[in-house]
Amino acid sequence: MKHKYKIRLIEFFVIGVLFGIAEDLLAITIATEGSFEWKYLWVAMVVAIPFAFISEIIVDHPNFWKHFLPSHWFIKEQEKNNERKI
């Protein structure tokens, strides 16, 4: 497995899943004004994992926005190099 894929996978688990679960648990606790219960963890995991996958694996992919935005928004590498030489 290439290094950049390992980094993306670690980022998915740490940032996407763990932070998503923590955020959801905080929101559930504040919204219900109750104490923490273990069943909330299950709900937070069910909600956090799909959103983590969408945000970290799909949207953060380097070519994701190229499918939705006009091509003139993206400067090609050759044009960047030409501008730097001038």
The total number of structural domains in the chain stands at 1
The b/e string for 45-84 (b: 16+ C-beta within 10 A; e otherwise) is: eebbbeebeeebeeeeeeeeeeeeeeeeeeeeeeeeeeee
pTM above 0.75, yes or no: no
Distance of CA 32 to the CA centre of its chain: 27
What pLDDT, in 10s, does the model give residues 11-57? 778 888 888 899 989 888 889 887 888 888 998 899 888 888 877 76
Distance, in Å, from the CA atom of 3 to the CA atom of 9, rounded to the nearest integer, reads 10
Q: Which structural domain range is residue 54 located in?
A: 3-85
